[in-house]
Amino acid sequence: MERVCFLLKVKNDRLEEYKERHQAVWPEMLDALRETGWRNYSLFLRDDGLLVGYLETADFQQARDAMAARDVNARWQREMAPFFEELEGRRPDEGLLRLEEVFHLD
């Protein structure tokens, strides 16, 4: 199992709306994440907009590619893109900064 942690930066003036949107993630988006191997997926948001994502998957690149092929993902990414800083024309799922795992207790 591959453990993945990543960072993005939510715009300060969009923090509350970003949190609200994630209280009502589209059911078809949730299904797509599950079907493409995203497990134990969590997002954590600091009050300055730093977003930390964590998930477990058998193969992260394969899981990303499978999501990228889904129409629901394209629609979700278009809706979420305005919430983020420094994407430089990329979708949020393309602009995430993956962190290197340096320690795991188990």
User: Which residues are annotated as catalytic?
Assistant: 22
Q: Which distant-in-sequence residues (6+ apart) come within 8 Å of 16 by Cβ? A: none
Nearest Cα residue to 44 out of 32, 34, 53: 53
